[in-house]
Structure 1
């Protein structure tokens, strides 16, 4: 307690004043002066060191120097980042936070650096701290929303909202615990729900592990809130690193896990279960004749899985995986070589590719056509360690699938049935209402190949590197084998089929566009979104038309100026009359692979600067330029000469401004690109008279909808606890107000209004812009407004526009999900408050029940 000393009290003594240290004061004064001088000279590194010295020696200067210190830190960090001195960068931020531990601006800035470098967990922690210090700090809030999509992926909400899945897991765990499995390890615990199920079922000891720092901390909060923090031990580590007795005191009798993705093995379940059987689990029950106590044996939930597949035709999958057009914006693509997405399942695994992507088949625009009946690809017993260990060394299995209807072969779709125990299972099939998507194995090598009834498709199935790999290798037609992979000699097949007809084999090679060594040499990989962009003919044609109009206008202007100048020179000195035609300059700052610079250069009288960085992609553009008769000197890759991004929008020369600057305005996910308005502001300063930014204007449109699907994917729903556990308040902290990568054409929803203009971004006229707008929308039907999906009309000029809602758009849509659904009646007026902050759109809504004037 205070003043509990046994010493007698004396009269209060005068506190001794701290003795002034002239040398210290002199050092502080000179260092502060040096810091300010270095800052003036843009010597940020030295200025930062001086500020550190001053603020450590004289903390009373913190308030005075805070703004200058922040500025110095951020500038010095930019320099360190540009030269790759990453450790020094973070050391500087650590030193800054020792001085200003509660500075939300420094915390947010460090979080941004962490996120850019892939440290998402750590970034989220800094954004979260910044928000706790200042809840209304918009930069930190937007950053937290962006990183939350990475850290707590939307399927966590879907899983917790999937009542059937939750109940089946709970019942299987309860049955196992009651049969004697009373020590449990939950691998990849997530929110901790499966471990809590085991404890609730009566398990004596429960352990859990989680690799994600964010999910680990979330699980700890959830377990504590449910009164189990003393009875469930959660470890922040991979199960592969766990040891007995270092991390858990002894082997457990039950492992529960749901570390499965759409392709079953993609989250490493095979490796983790092999390790668990060898190091963490009791040995399995050997057989009915062995008298072994049930509690002395180990088992796994789920007990196993059966994998199914199906060949299909799907235009939507096709346009994201391979080039489907022969011409883009007036350019012939014949010389492009082989362009392919990074999703490729070949018999020879490549670290640069993924074997499959994922889609929800039931939501694909345009649907899909099954070309074969579903087939069983593989079965696996998770309680048989020998089978798990032998999975990667299994011989390649080759199966023949009868083709049931005609169609172009685009992909194999894969799903599975997860056997929780002998009685209960979960299916991830395309017809199921489940939280899982399906795995998609695109077929690149069969471009344009049409399967016909009575054909047999030959598929190879392997698990060489613990990934499930399915590869279409050949088609049997009329007794002949048509190869779909690069191995044209059927003798290399695991199950050779004779083909004595060399003419048929030659036709096979031609049909599959296998052009030998040249194809391998010209191979180039593009992201799926870049491939879909190439296939978006409407966009490129619209751009070509709009740019052609601008170039024609500027050419006329240049000719008029030249004629006027020539006339003046002729009057002064006719001997000096020469043709001084000048090039128009176009700058493309699009993200990733873009043909817009080539389309610009093809207009003639234009020198175009391309933003494409990767060497192979630059080679593709060079080949296309050559084959389309575009002079080599008309296209330049300006990023090859840039040391950093500071000069991104510089002029091509001292005398010349840009005729056109092409900005990439919308992310594929459906959001406005960050710092778009800042880039537009800079671009306007660099345009010649009559020059233009492409696009010049973006109009945001939206609609009121009722969609339970969006709610289920955005937060844990309902007032009832999940399986009796209090989880929603904790994971719903990671709810984000804007749902991205949305396909509005297939979203399950009810339209409650017509589409309406929400916002306008004018990239050519800064005075026309605003940051807030009130929009009135009349409800056309009664219902609950749960979200406002939005999309964009992108105006390349006053007349030519493209829509991100069109069926062939490479962009997806986004939706602002309301915090609370809003009940409306038909005819009600809804007021939407639309705000734009640093390219981020937010929308709130309320119903106006007052009478509306008749116009």
Structure 2
């Protein structure tokens, strides 16, 4: 370069050290002292302001003050949350993240607040960012796994792994494109697979829309990875919001969609197709000018559907939707009257009810029995706009169904055949190997209805809103019509055969109708009804609580309970105080209150329940009255505390609890979050000899090979997705723990005996550990794909219940391995189990050398827990 060396170089000046600013240093020092004093006084808001000042003026103190600043932020955020100052809460987090943009703890905590307030997409972004900052951050992992289930529902994996379903859609799309449908709109695109099928088939223009922000972004990534980003336009819109030419330039000739649920219409396919025919699709062929060419007509894939159904007997469905037992834990339940689930098609159903739930009939514990032959419910033509528009105003259809087998009428099960085109169809029937569940319409009669061959069921079919509704209205026997909403038990019994089953149903019904039934029918969640029907659990709790009260009575005297009350001129010991902090509905507090009324213990138990719903409280009050529990012996604890978060506290300044009932296991099969922290606080609130129920939880598990769990947990390569590169993108939302599992009906091979994985002692924290390594010997050769686990819940030293039993209201869960382990008989698998804040993780690796194992002991364990 010319004259490159002619310019003299400048010498670098030595930088001066920054001058000390006495005033600034004084401000920082005073603000730090003020912040610390505010923390002592629990004035977290003022402390937070002082820390902001200090860290903005003196950034060099960030490392020193980070822990104190975090603590202050979290405490102040809790206060703001309780006061409903949500905007201020998020403002504080934004200020904190400006100061500490790479602090994974603060980022994760921000995500937790967002998730609790319903901002799931935003929460997922924060959890993902926290994991990028620290990949081994367990709290962020747990949070991301939880939010992933909301963002990408598990059925996405099942459908993408269903090669048969994908291939049939591909064939129907290829055929339509060959016949001239060159402009395509994919409604509810999900990962974009159907839109990519259209493009690959030769469509000239492909558009897709997706409402979910997460799925929209995922589809964009998938389309780009398959080199189609320039030829498929994806819109983050609901199809009902789309307009021409604003969103797409002109009407399309083909709409493809699978916006159908187990009940066919529940995802709004009728409404979206009516809008599409009116605004986005070319007219169908039957409305087209005959002189127009085939390319000027529109069509829909799927072309139509036929809905089928049958009546079934199923004890598993029954116990989740209807009260089946007359008493639990010594409490008579009959006086409550009718209790049913929020799933109903009855004419008087309120807005809180749903018309159906979903189940995979082939996997229900105990199975099911068809009581009628399969019947046709309706046919729908998606390519007939007039038929779609007339569906909602269509008269109620009435079906007459003959009963073919004797049994208890528990539900109407519904499935459909989706006709993609003239040649390709999909069935969601219970006997099919399909990714679909069936829609279940439980029979919500106040009493069990036993039917027999020769009876006729009257079913009404309607679709006056977004849902298909099937409502059993009456049963016809020997020419007499018995309406479910005016059920006459005596008249029904008079024409019923005298079989033991019928007499039992009649006797149980009589227990519920001996007293005048309340005008109001009570509604509980399905899981709460299953819990109430779990007599084994409540009876064992009754025994354990009774034993505790006897022990307390034997060891306590008036001197040890100095505060006594005057009753009819006599001094009586101060009652024992018990607190039930179960999630949702629970009768445990009432069982304890009634135990205090038994001979030798009159009026000795003051029970508190944490239920807060008015219906729950009304049920408990009715049961209390019917079982002779005096008014005032059962109180609702949340009316005594200022904040739900402070539910664990003393009953009064001078008193402690005799027993605290913790709800430790979620219905889905996981340990509840923060149960260890709750147990620690609960122990400090117990009187001498007091007890936490349960006292101990033992976690059991086994090695299994299950292709089903793999299919439900992650997309298995490119083969099921027709060669499209989808798996790496959607599998980012794979979670290692599969919940709501019925291990008794899971398609799997047991590769080991059950083993004890972990023990959590809630009464004695000193015996707990945070990690455990154990060795499990394979008793069968195969691939270890998962480790299902369940719990033995020890109420005390003598009574325990298993969450893996036929009467359990809990489900099981399983850890699904990312990489299956191949084992042969005698191989040893090393399991590493870790506990962190009530959440535990399991990792597995294979060892070459086998270890001896007591097969007889583990076989006995399996027999005891299954």
Deviation of residue 62 (structure 1)? 3.5
1:115 positional shift: 1.5
- Correspondence for 1:338: 338
Match of residue 521 from structure 2: 523
- Kept in 2, the 8 Å contact 1:721–1:727? The answer is no
1:228/1:28 Cα in 2 relative to 1: closer, same or farther (>3 Å)? farther
Aligned to 1:494: none
Shift of residue 520, structure 1, vs aligned partner: 6.7
Match of 1:499 in 2: none
Distance (Å, rounded) in 1 between the aligned partners of 2:584 and 2:365? 25
Aligned twin of 1:109: 109
Kindly state the Cα deviation for residue 819 of structure 1 after the two structures are TM-superposed.
Answer: 1.5
| Alignment partner of 1:394 is 2:391 | no
* Mapping for residues 582-661 of structure 1, pairs under 5 Å: 582-604=574-596, 605-661=604-660
Displacement of 1:610 in angstroms is 0.5
Write out per-residue CA displacement over residues 506-555 of structure 1, whole angstroms, 9 at most, x where no aligned residue: 999x9899989975733221111100000000000000000000001101
1:581 aligns with 2:579: no
> TM-score w.r.t. structure 1 length?
0.92
Q: For residues 422 and 486 of structure 1, what CA distance do their matches in structure 2 show?
A: 46
Structure 1 residue 298: deviation in Å? 1.6
Query: How many angstroms does 1:85 deviate by?
Result: 2.2
Q: Compared with structure 1, are the counterparts of its residues 517 and 393 closer, same or farther at alpha carbon in structure 2 (3 Å cutoff)?
A: farther
**Other-structure match for 1:846:** 845
Structure 1 unaligned runs (5+)? Answer: 489-501, 570-576
Deviation at 1:578, TM superposition (A): 7.4
1:92 deviates by 2.5
Distance 1:138 1:409, change over 3 A: same
Structure 2 match to 1:245: 245
- C-alpha change, 1:183 and 1:746, in structure 2 (3 Å) is same
Aligned pairs, number: 826
User: Could you tell me how far apart the structure 1 residues matched to 2:494 and 2:235 are?
Assistant: 59
User: For the Cα contact (< 8 Å) 2:163–2:719, is it kept in 1?
Assistant: no
1:19/1:276 CA distance change after superposition, 3 Å: farther
Q: Which residue of structure 2 lines up, in the alignment, with residue 664 of structure 1?
A: 663
In structure 1, C-alpha distance between the alignment counterparts of 2:298 and 2:93, rounded to whole Å: 48
Partner residue of 2:864? none
CA distance in 2, matches of 1:520, 1:665: 33
C-alpha distance in 1 between matches for 2:55 and 2:751: 59
Q: Deviations over 1:807-841 (max 9, x none)?
A: 01000001111111111111222221111122222
Q: Quick check: 604-613 or 51-60, which moved more?
A: 51-60
Q: CA deviation at 1:285?
A: 1.8
- Shift in CA distance, 64/293, structure 1 to aligned 2, threshold 3 Å: farther
In 2, distance between residues paired with 1:158 and 1:178? 29
- Residues 503 and 679 (structure 1 numbering): CA distance in 2 closer, same or farther, change over 3 Å? closer
Q: Structure 2: how far apart are the matches of 1:674 and 1:758?
A: 19
**Is the 1:482–1:505 contact (alpha carbons within 8 Å) kept by the matching residues of 2?**
no
1:574 corresponds to: none
SS in 2 for 1:390: helix
Contact map agreement 2:777 2:853 (CA 8 A) in 1: no
Which moved further from structure 2: 297-306 or 352-361?
297-306
Partner of 1:142: 142
Q: Would the aligned equivalents of 1:306 and 1:376 in 2 still touch at CA under 8 Å?
A: yes
1:706 Cα deviation from its structure 2 partner: 0.9
Alignment check: 8 A CA contact 1:337 1:620 kept: no
Q: 2:281 and 2:27 mapped to 1: Cα distance?
A: 64
Q: Flag the 1:603–1:716 CA change in 2: closer, same or farther, 3 A.
A: same
Conserved? CA contact 2:558–2:573, under 8 Å: no
Report the Cα offset of residue 51 of structure 1.
Answer: 3.5
Separation in structure 1 between the aligned mates of residue 840 and residue 853 of structure 2, nearest angstrom: 31
Helix, strand or coil at the partner of 2:485: coil
The equivalent residue for 1:572 is none
Hey, what's the Cα distance between the residues in 1 that align with 2:621 and 2:495? 31
Alignment map for 1:34-45 (pairs within 5 Å): 34-45=34-45
Please name the residue that 2:99 is paired with. Answer: 99
**Which residue number corresponds to residue 547 of structure 2?**
549
Q: Give, in whole Å, the separation in 1 of the partners of 2:826 and 2:523.
A: 52
* Worse overlay, 40-49 or 79-88: 40-49
Task: Assess if the C-alpha contact under 8 Å between 1:562 and 1:580 holds in 2.
Answer: no
Is 1:187 aligned to residue 187 of structure 2?
Answer: yes
Distance in 1 (CA, whole Å) between partners of 2:516 and 2:189 is 49
> 2: distance between equivalents of 1:224 and 1:294?
32
Cα distance change on mapping 1:636 and 1:292 into 2, 3 Å = same
State how far apart, in whole Å, the 2-side matches of 1:650 and 1:504 are.
Answer: 53
Task: Work out whether residues 805 and 813 of structure 1, in 8 Å CA contact, stay in contact via their aligned partners in 2.
Answer: yes
- Contact kept in structure 1, 2:403 and 2:452, CA below 8 Å: yes
Instruction: Name the SS of the counterpart of 2:744 in structure 1.
Output: coil
2:89 counterpart residue number: 89
The 8 Å contact of residues 409 and 446 in structure 1, kept in 2 or not, is answered as no
> How much does 1:325 deviate?
0.3
Is contact 1:562–1:581 with CA below 8 Å preserved after alignment? no
Task: Map 1:315-354 onto structure 2 (within 5 A).
Answer: 315-348=315-348, 350-354=350-354
* 1: CA distance, partners of 2:809 / 2:158: 26
Distance 2:471 2:805 in 1: 32
Alignment-derived partner of residue 761 in structure 2: 762
- Aligned pair 1:711/2:703, yes or no? no
Higher deviation after alignment, 310-319 or 754-763: 754-763
- Partners of 1:537 and 1:854 lie apart in 2 by 35
Determine the C-alpha separation between the residues in 1 that align with 2:230 and 2:96: 37
Question: Of the candidates 510, 534, 539, which is equivalent to residue 537 of structure 2?
Answer: 539
TM-score, structure 2 as length reference: 0.90
Name which of structure 1's ranges 29-38 and 96-105 shifts more when overlaid on structure 2: 29-38
Query: Corresponding residue for 1:686?
Result: 685
Contact 2:277 2:283 in 1 (8 A): yes
CA positional deviation for 1:44: 2.1
Distance 1:650 1:851 in 2: 50
Looking at structure 1, the residues matched to 139 and 853 of structure 2 have their Cα atoms a distance apart, in angstroms, of 42
CA distance in 2, matches of 1:546, 1:650: 23
* Residues 1:207 and 2:207 are matched in the alignment: yes
Task: Give me the whole-angstrom Cα distance separating, in 1, the residues matched to 2:19 and 2:670.
Answer: 60
Point out where structure 2 has 5 or more consecutive residues left out of the alignment: 497-504, 597-603, 855-866
Q: Give the superposition deviation at 1:112.
A: 1.0
Match of 1:493 in 2: none
The residue matched to 2:325 in structure 1 has which SS?
coil
Contact 2:648 2:682 in 1 (8 A): yes
Task: Provide closer, same or farther for how the CA distance between residues 374 and 853 of structure 1 changes in structure 2, counting only shifts above 3 A.
Answer: closer
Show the counterpart of 1:128.
Answer: 128
State the match for 2:776 in structure 1: 777
The 2-side partners of 1:62 and 1:717 are apart by 46
Going from structure 1 to structure 2, the CA distance change for 1:241 and 1:31 (only over 3 Å counts) comes to farther
Pairing 1:259-338 to 2, within 5 Å after superposition: 259-286=259-286, 290-338=290-338
Give a deviation string over 1:406-432, Cα, whole Å, max 9, x none.
111111000001111121110000000
**Contact kept? 2:183, 2:203, Cα under 8 Å:** yes
Decide whether aligned partners of structure 1 residues 443 and 854 sit closer, same or farther in structure 2, where only a CA change above 3 A counts. Answer: closer
